[in-house]
Amino acid sequence: MITFEHVTKQYADGTVAIEDVSFTVEEGTTTVLVGPSGCGKTTTMKLVNRLEDPTEGTVYRDGTPLSEFDRIDLRRNTGYVIQEIGLFDHMTVGENIATVPRLNGWDEDEIDARIDELLELMDLPPESYREQHPPELSGGQRQRVGVARALASDPDVLLMDEPFGALDPITRESLQDEFLKIQAELDTTILFVTHSIDEALKMGDRIAIFDVGEVVQYDTPQAILDEPKNEFVEDFIGSDRPLKKLKVTQVEDVMSPPTEEVATAGGVADATAPVQSDGGSTVSPLEPTDTALSALSRLVASEDGRLPVVEDGDVVGTVSDEDIRRSNAGDKP
Amino acid sequence: MLSSVHNWLAYVDFAVEHSDRLLVATLEHIEIIAFAIAIAVPIGVGLGFLITFDDRLATAVIWLAGVMMTVPSIALFGLLIPYFGIGAPSVIVALVLYTQLPVIRNTYVGLNDVDPAALEAGEAMGMTRLQLLRRVQLPIALPVIMAGVRNAVVILIGIATIGAFIGAGGLGDLLFDGISYVRTEMIVVTTVILSLLALAVDYAFSISEQLFRLNNGEQVESSATMRLLQRVIS
């Protein structure tokens, strides 16, 4: 748990990066700091591993003020991923990942095993990537190594500053998805900085929206979309707020109970079979964990007004245009 | 045609006849340079590292080292004799001063050349200033520093010759004798040895620079010697 209590940071040249910021990052969650450039989100993040120290106020980790920690120990227990990645080009991928474990004095055997484990986790087979040097890798692969390096000594806190910002949209999307999966397996507290509200809504359990040096709204993605606190937040989310809401809503939250019609034996067989879409490619049936947005897009393309939702081969509900509209208006079905 | 062959034979004759003296002079020459480099490199690298902390200091130090190089060697020897006496010590001090520009400058450039993001990442991962230097900055800067040292050694081989003027010995002795007694073959043979020495040292350093780069995982156009070395190592 990380707590910011009335934190102000003024740089030596007089610029105030953040002013009187207070919020708490819960253990094991991902909190996204989002806002336009120059809003102080990166400074806020750097306070957590003491790359910066606050001018006023206190940052606590699990109730202990950060000033009581040794800077070096604190950093070795805090993962750090940045947009520029900052891999050490003169070391191999394996050596890069081994950085913090080596600093912490682990056994070489332990380190070896950890490198392989992390490379597997990042979907980079150790036998082909371990001995490579970073310049030989693609941008996406380099950032995977960056994340692996940050996770190497299993830190309690992971700081990520626009980690996927420099990647092309397709690589970014797939890395986000993979990271969400990895994140579900970790119990790390993550502080994620981005300027993209879409990324914030996708990655965050909670979102802190920054505007020039202050936190304007700190809430769950749902709550921010449902009730933007002021015009700034509304503008920041953009005019497609209803669609963004559908993106953070899961089908199981909007679906109706299965109807007689599709629940009949024939119906089920039909529903669970892969559907042929217009393009001729096969589309698997809707699952409860799909987003409401993808349900809507399938409804638009489909001739039926109501689609079955399938989990492990059983129809667990149906979803219609009407269900989605109702959820977007705010009421649960 | 006949006379050029005759000359050539005269050079070989001279080299064979005076091989003892040539060998001793060459070894003396190498000894002076080795001493100078052994003193110069730690000082230059240290200064180069120190000035990475302060840009204004860096400009001043590099400017001063540059000025050093413009002082004629004879004048510098003259200035040093009152402090270090006639002979090798004065020459070695002068040589150390002459090497400072390439060594300091390349150290400074090499250390500053490290990707700022890598430095930030290193700091954020909990490396101390010294660990950052040893594990990140120095390995990346090493090939560049080597290039500076290589530059310095080649300059020294030439300048050390003039050291003979104040009694430091080395190949310069033979050159000055050749000039005094108007013995062309003596001048030519000594010059050839000096050039070969410079080329050999230059080549040896370029190989070691490549080895450092390869060790850093950089792509290097390997020379024939490199490939041979790699084969021997593997």
Cα–Cα distance for residue pair A256/A308, rounded to 1 Å: 10
Q: What is the mean pLDDT of chain A?
A: 86
Q: Is A15 helix (H, G, I), strand (E, B) or coil?
A: coil
Residue A98 has pLDDT above 50, yes or no: yes
**pLDDT value, residue B228:** 72
pLDDT of res. A269: 44
Which residues on B lie below 8 Å from A87 (Cβ)? 118, 121
Predicted local confidence at residue B13, as pLDDT = 85
Residue of B nearest to A45 (CA): B124
pLDDT for residue A282 is more than 60: no
A50–chain B nearest CA distance, Å = 9
Smallest CA-to-CA distance from A59 within A43, A80, A72 is with A43
pLDDT tens for residues A136-154? 999 899 999 999 999 999 9
Q: Is B103 within the bounds of a domain?
A: yes
Residue of B115, B125, B137, B138 for testing the chain A interface, max A β-carbons within 10 Å: B125
pLDDT of residue A265: 40
Judge whether B53 lies within some domain. Answer: yes
Please give the pLDDT value at position A132: 92
Paired tokens of B198: 């410079």
**Number of Cα atoms under 13 Å in the Cβ half of residue B29:** 30
Nearest CA in chain B to A150: B125
pLDDT at position A206 over 90: yes
Evaluate whether residue B226 is within a structural domain: no
As a whole-number percent, the residues of chain A with pLDDT over 70 amount to: 91
Q: Which residue has the higher pLDDT, B65 or A283?
A: B65
Mean pLDDT calculated for residue range B50-79: 92
pLDDT band, residue A268 (cuts 50/70/90):
very low
Mean pLDDT of A303-319: 83
CA distance A146 to chain B (A): 10
Report the pLDDT value the prediction gives residue B222, as an integer from 0 to 100.
Answer: 64
Range of the domain at B11: 2-202
Residue in the structure block whose two tokens are 């002082």: B71
Distance CA A13, CA A48 (A): 22
Alpha-carbon distances of A17 from A6, A54, A82, A213, B48, rounded to whole Å: 13, 10, 19, 5, 34
Taking 3-state DSSP, the helix, strand and coil percentages for chain B, each rounded to the nearest 5, stand at 85, 0, 15
Encode pLDDT of A104-141 as tens digits.
Answer: 999 999 999 999 999 999 989 999 999 999 999 998 99
Top-confidence residue, A287 or A70: A70
What confidence score (pLDDT) does residue A253 get? 82
Instruction: Give yes or no for A75 touching B (CB within 8 A).
Output: yes
CA distances to B13, B18, B20, B26 from B9, in Å: 6, 14, 19, 22
| Band of pLDDT at residue A266, cut at 50, 70 and 90 | very low
Smallest Cα distance from B35 to chain A, Å: 31
Report the b/e string of B22-50 with b at 16+ CB within 10 A. Answer: beebbebbbebbebbbeebbeebbebbbe
Distance CA A111, CA A104 (A): 10
B173 within domain boundaries: yes
Residue A330: the pLDDT is 55
Q: What pLDDT was estimated at residue A264?
A: 45
Nearest to A100 among B115, B120, B125 (CB): B125
What is the distance between the terminal CA atoms of chain A, rounded to a whole angstrom?
35
A contacts of B133 (beta carbons < 8 Å)? none
Average pLDDT over residues B95-120: 93
* Highest mean pLDDT (candidates A30-39, A176-185, A276-285, B38-47): B38-47
Q: Is residue B42 situated within a structural domain?
A: yes
Within a domain: B229: no
Chain A: residue whose CA lies nearest to B120: A86
- Considering only CB atoms, A84 lies closest to which of B117, B127, B136, namely B117
d(CA B184, CA B177): 10
What's the domain count of chain B?
A: 1
For the entire predicted model, the pTM comes to: 0.78
Is A86 in Cβ contact with B122 (below 8 Å)?
Answer: yes
Whether B212 maps to a domain, the answer reads no
Of A187-196, A218-227, A259-268, where does mean pLDDT reach its minimum? A259-268
Q: Are B170 and B161 in contact (CB under 8 A)?
A: yes
Min Cα distance A208 → chain B (Å) is 23
Contacting residues of A for B132, CB less than 8 Å apart: none
Tell me which of A88, A143, A159 to substitute to probe the interface with B (most B C-beta atoms closer than 10 Å): A88
| Cβ contacts of A49 on chain B, cutoff 8 Å | 124
Confidence of residue B234 (pLDDT cuts 50, 70, 90): low
CATH label of the domain that carries residue B145: 1.10.3720.10
Nearest CA-CA distance, residue A76 and chain B, Å: 5
Q: Would you list the DSSP string of B150-218?
A: HHHHHHHHHHHHHGGGGT--SHHHHHHHHHHTT-HHHHHHHHHHHHHHHHHHHHHHHHHHHHHHHHTT-
Cβ of residue A82 closer than 8 Å to a chain B Cβ? yes
Chain-chain contact of A99 with B115 (C-beta, under 8 angstroms) = no
Question: Residue B125: which of A84, A99, A136 has the nearest Cβ?
Answer: A99
Q: Is the pLDDT of residue A320 over 80?
A: yes
Using CB atoms, pick whichever of B118, B126, B131 lies closest to residue A87.
B118
Quick one: A109 exposed, middle or buried, by C-beta within 10 A (0-12, 13-18, 19+)?
exposed
Q: Give the pLDDT confidence score for residue A34 in this predicted structure.
A: 93
Q: Does residue B63 fall inside a structural domain?
A: yes
Cα separation, A268 vs A190, whole angstroms: 41
The average pLDDT across B89-99 equals 93
Which of A74, A27, A85 lies closest to A47, judged by CA?
Answer: A74
CB contact under 8 A, B121 and A89: no
Whole-angstrom Cα distance, residue B1 to residue A14? 81
Mean pLDDT of chain B: 89
Looking at the complex, does the CB of residue A135 fall below 8 Å from at least one CB of chain B? yes
Task: Give the per-residue pLDDT at A331.
Answer: 43
Please tell me the distance from the alpha carbon of residue B178 to that of residue B168, in angstroms, as a whole number: 17
Q: Which of B125, B140, B217 sits opposite A92 (nearest CB)?
A: B217
Q: Min CA distance, A7 vs chain B (Å)?
A: 21
